[in-house]
Structure 1
Amino acid sequence: MAAFDTTRPAYGAAPVAGQFKGFVAKLVAQVVAWNDARVTRNALSSLTDRELDDIGLVRGDIDDVANGR
Protein backbone atom coordinates (compact mmCIF):
# COMPACT_ATOMS: atom_id res chain seq x y z
CA MET A 1 0.00 0.00 0.00
CA ALA A 2 1.31 3.49 -0.91
CA ALA A 3 1.16 6.48 1.41
CA PHE A 4 1.41 10.15 0.47
CA ASP A 5 2.70 12.86 2.74
CA THR A 6 0.26 15.75 2.33
CA THR A 7 1.76 18.00 5.01
CA ARG A 8 4.49 19.40 2.74
CA PRO A 9 4.00 21.90 -0.08
CA ALA A 10 4.43 20.73 -3.64
CA TYR A 11 8.00 20.50 -4.86
CA GLY A 12 9.21 23.95 -5.85
CA ALA A 13 6.25 25.83 -4.40
CA ALA A 14 8.02 27.07 -1.26
CA PRO A 15 10.90 28.83 -3.06
CA VAL A 16 8.47 30.58 -5.41
CA ALA A 17 6.32 31.72 -2.49
CA GLY A 18 9.43 32.95 -0.68
CA GLN A 19 10.58 34.89 -3.71
CA PHE A 20 7.16 36.49 -4.05
CA LYS A 21 7.12 37.49 -0.38
CA GLY A 22 10.61 38.94 -0.79
CA PHE A 23 9.52 40.91 -3.83
CA VAL A 24 6.47 42.29 -2.03
CA ALA A 25 8.57 43.17 1.03
CA LYS A 26 11.09 45.06 -1.14
CA LEU A 27 8.28 46.87 -2.93
CA VAL A 28 6.67 47.94 0.34
CA ALA A 29 10.05 49.09 1.70
CA GLN A 30 10.65 51.19 -1.42
CA VAL A 31 7.22 52.82 -1.16
CA VAL A 32 7.81 53.61 2.53
CA ALA A 33 11.26 55.09 1.78
CA TRP A 34 9.82 57.18 -1.07
CA ASN A 35 7.05 58.51 1.18
CA ASP A 36 9.49 59.34 4.00
CA ALA A 37 11.66 61.29 1.54
CA ARG A 38 8.60 63.08 0.16
CA VAL A 39 7.41 64.11 3.63
CA THR A 40 10.89 65.28 4.62
CA ARG A 41 11.28 67.23 1.37
CA ASN A 42 7.91 68.93 1.85
CA ALA A 43 8.64 69.81 5.49
CA LEU A 44 12.03 71.30 4.69
CA SER A 45 10.71 73.14 1.65
CA SER A 46 8.12 74.88 3.79
CA LEU A 47 10.84 76.45 5.99
CA THR A 48 12.19 79.90 5.29
CA ASP A 49 15.82 80.45 4.32
CA ARG A 50 16.47 81.81 7.82
CA GLU A 51 14.99 78.69 9.46
CA LEU A 52 17.05 76.46 7.18
CA ASP A 53 20.17 78.45 8.09
CA ASP A 54 19.36 77.92 11.79
CA ILE A 55 19.60 74.15 11.30
CA GLY A 56 22.68 74.42 9.11
CA LEU A 57 21.11 73.85 5.71
CA VAL A 58 20.63 75.76 2.50
CA ARG A 59 17.80 75.23 0.06
CA GLY A 60 20.08 73.20 -2.22
CA ASP A 61 20.64 70.63 0.55
CA ILE A 62 16.98 69.61 0.80
CA ASP A 63 17.10 66.82 -1.81
CA ASP A 64 20.28 65.38 -0.32
CA VAL A 65 18.82 65.36 3.19
CA ALA A 66 15.52 63.88 2.01
CA ASN A 67 17.33 61.08 0.17
CA GLY A 68 19.56 60.32 3.15
CA ARG A 69 22.84 61.43 1.60
Structure 2
Amino acid sequence: MAAIDTTRSAHGSHGLVGRIGSVINHLVAAFTAWNDARVTRKALSALTDRELEDIGLTRADIDRIAGGN
Protein backbone atom coordinates (compact mmCIF):
# COMPACT_ATOMS: atom_id res chain seq x y z
CA MET A 1 0.00 0.00 0.00
CA ALA A 2 1.31 3.47 -0.90
CA ALA A 3 1.19 6.34 1.54
CA ILE A 4 1.38 10.04 0.91
CA ASP A 5 3.00 12.27 3.51
CA THR A 6 0.74 15.32 3.74
CA THR A 7 2.48 16.83 6.77
CA ARG A 8 5.36 18.31 4.80
CA SER A 9 5.07 21.68 3.20
CA ALA A 10 6.75 22.55 -0.09
CA HIS A 11 6.57 26.22 0.88
CA GLY A 12 9.81 27.48 2.39
CA SER A 13 11.79 24.51 1.21
CA HIS A 14 15.35 24.26 2.41
CA GLY A 15 18.47 24.01 0.41
CA LEU A 16 20.03 25.97 -2.38
CA VAL A 17 16.98 25.92 -4.65
CA GLY A 18 14.73 27.18 -1.85
CA ARG A 19 17.12 29.99 -1.01
CA ILE A 20 17.48 31.02 -4.65
CA GLY A 21 13.70 31.02 -5.00
CA SER A 22 13.40 33.13 -1.87
CA VAL A 23 15.91 35.67 -3.19
CA ILE A 24 14.10 35.85 -6.52
CA ASN A 25 10.76 36.33 -4.77
CA HIS A 26 12.28 39.09 -2.63
CA LEU A 27 13.71 40.85 -5.69
CA VAL A 28 10.41 40.64 -7.57
CA ALA A 29 8.52 42.01 -4.54
CA ALA A 30 11.00 44.89 -4.16
CA PHE A 31 10.75 45.75 -7.85
CA THR A 32 6.95 45.61 -7.74
CA ALA A 33 6.84 47.92 -4.70
CA TRP A 34 9.26 50.36 -6.36
CA ASN A 35 7.23 50.37 -9.58
CA ASP A 36 3.94 50.89 -7.73
CA ALA A 37 5.43 53.88 -5.91
CA ARG A 38 6.79 55.26 -9.19
CA VAL A 39 3.40 54.97 -10.93
CA THR A 40 1.60 56.55 -7.95
CA ARG A 41 4.11 59.40 -7.79
CA LYS A 42 3.77 60.01 -11.53
CA ALA A 43 -0.04 60.01 -11.42
CA LEU A 44 -0.20 62.37 -8.44
CA SER A 45 2.41 64.68 -9.95
CA ALA A 46 0.29 65.00 -13.09
CA LEU A 47 -2.60 66.46 -11.08
CA THR A 48 -3.03 70.21 -10.73
CA ASP A 49 -2.76 71.88 -7.33
CA ARG A 50 -6.53 72.30 -7.35
CA GLU A 51 -7.10 68.58 -8.03
CA LEU A 52 -4.68 67.66 -5.25
CA GLU A 53 -6.51 70.04 -2.91
CA ASP A 54 -9.82 68.37 -3.81
CA ILE A 55 -8.50 65.03 -2.54
CA GLY A 56 -6.89 66.61 0.51
CA LEU A 57 -3.26 66.55 -0.60
CA THR A 58 -0.51 69.02 -1.37
CA ARG A 59 2.58 68.63 -3.55
CA ALA A 60 4.58 68.02 -0.36
CA ASP A 61 2.45 64.94 0.38
CA ILE A 62 3.22 63.15 -2.89
CA ASP A 63 6.53 61.56 -1.84
CA ARG A 64 5.09 60.52 1.52
CA ILE A 65 2.04 58.93 -0.09
CA ALA A 66 3.95 57.24 -2.90
CA GLY A 67 6.65 56.00 -0.55
CA GLY A 68 4.12 54.49 1.83
CA ASN A 69 5.39 56.43 4.85
TM-score using structure 1 length: 0.78
Q: Which runs of 4+ in 1 moved over 6 A?
A: none
2:15 is paired with a residue whose SS is helix
Specify the alignment match of 2:35 in structure 1. Answer: 35
Residue 25 (structure 1) shift: 0.1
Q: Which runs of 5+ in 2 are unaligned?
A: 1-13
Q: Which runs of 5+ in 1 are unaligned?
A: 1-13
Q: Distance in 1 between matches of 2:34 and 2:68?
A: 11
Q: Distance in 1 between matches of 2:16 and 2:64?
A: 37
Paired residues, number: 56
Query: Which runs of structure 2 are paired with 1:1-69 in the superposition (5 Å)?
Result: 14-69=14-69
**Cα RMSD between the aligned structures?**
0.8
Q: Distance in 2 between matches of 1:25 and 1:65?
A: 25
Larger radius of gyration: 1
Summarize deviations over 1:28-58 as a string: whole Å, max 9, x none. Answer: 0000001000000000000000100000100
Q: Distance in 2 between matches of 1:46 and 1:17?
A: 43
TM-score using structure 2 length: 0.78
Q: Distance in 2 between matches of 1:61 and 1:15?
A: 44
